[in-house]
Amino acid sequence: MINESALLESKTLRDGVLERTDVLDRVKALSLLPDGMHVTTAMVAAYFEVAVKTLESGVEDHREELASNGYQVLTGAPLALFKRASGIQSRSKALALFSRRAVLNVAMLLRDSEVARQVRVYLLDMEYLARAQPVDNSVHTDTVSLDDRIDQRITHILGKTVVPMFNALIETSGEHRKELIALRAGVQRIERRLHQHHTRLQRLEGVRDDRPAVGVMAAMDAMNGRTFEHHIAKLLRRDGCTNVVVQGGHGDRGVDIIGLTPDGRRLVVQCKRFAPYLNITSPDMQRFVGAAKVLHGAEVALFVATCPFTSEALNIAAETGITVVHRGLLEQWSAGEPLEVLE
């Protein structure tokens, strides 16, 4: 197995593992700016527990490599737009930003950080486990394939037969409604875990999709507003929500989607497909609060957007119980990670 110090010396090795940004949160929670995508120099230094000057020195030595992985310095009009979108209060004429990929890149360059060393060790351990597959055990391969087919069949039965059966029972039952909702939620959790297991097996067996890869957020950025609403409705149904209806423009009373969470709570959703450099403002949030809480009596309210939220909009959401799904969280949700508020 490769020693973690090898990542300090080999750009080729670093390039080979830069997709594993999930390792950062496994070692230590990485705080992001309100846009859900970027980190400042001070935040990166705090994560790695090093002085800002130490980090800046490392960035200067490897600026080209870091820039290719999402490091950038904003000035002028782009900086002004970003400050408004993210709610950052700063008079600085330049702002350095790191993407999660760039932060992982830093972890493979910092020599005098124990946190960075832990990230490198964890990263290589995960890569070793993912690649250490037997090459001549045909019985094991057949067994995995059979198990995989069984898992797929069970998932199909749960999704197409058992869950709809629970839905019908819940609609007609009064006395045992809560028990049935709890049982349905348990079945849906099993269904999701089997699906995730199937996906992991495909990765381990080298199964590939030959269709051209399209970024999750790039695909959503290309949607129109109506298509985006239906995409969000599809995610809700995937995660076990029922009676999900996309409202029609006029007469929607201020929300785009209504439905029920997996445990039967009243759900409303506002969807905004805006350009990433725009932002959801305080008035936007105030209007949704009124519609969700007063007009619809929502027990769960989601404000989903492809752009950042201003700090004031985030404060209002926190004070009124609105769940904010910003661009970064939306990407994770679309990629298969369920929203905690729906579980």
pLDDT at 303: 96
pLDDT at 138: 42
pLDDT at 24: 87
Under the banding of pLDDT at 50, 70 and 90, the label for residue 150 is: low
Distance CA 343, CA 13 (A): 38
Instruction: Tell me the Cα Rg of the chain.
Output: 23
pLDDT at 136: 44
Between 123 and 236, where is the model more confident? 236
Helix runs in 249-291, H state only: 282-289
pLDDT at 134: 46
Listed in order, strand segments (DSSP E) in 217-321 are 242-246, 257-260, 266-272, 300-305
pLDDT > 90 fraction of the chain, expressed in percent and rounded: 33
pLDDT at 323: 94
Under the banding of pLDDT at 50, 70 and 90, the label for residue 190 is: low
pLDDT at 187: 65
Picking from 65-74, 162-171, 285-294, which range would have the lowest pLDDT averaged per residue? 162-171
Picking from 69-73, 183-187, 235-239, which range would have the lowest pLDDT averaged per residue? 183-187
State the average pLDDT for the chain: 78
- In sequence order, the 6+-apart residues with CB closer than 8 A to the CB of 269 are 232, 236, 255, 256, 257, 258, 259, 301, 302, 303, 304
| 191 residue type, one letter | E
Q: Please give the average per-residue pLDDT across 286-290, as a whole number.
A: 91
Between 203 and 226, where is the model more confident? 226
Picking from 26-30, 105-109, 114-118, 181-185, which range would have the lowest pLDDT averaged per residue? 181-185
> How far, CA to CA in Å, does 145 sit from each of 12, 46, 150, 151, 201?
33, 45, 9, 10, 9
Under the banding of pLDDT at 50, 70 and 90, the label for residue 73 is: very high
Q: Which strands, in side-by-side order, build the sheet including 38-40?
A: 38-40, 94-99, 72-75
Distance CA 11, CA 18 (A): 11
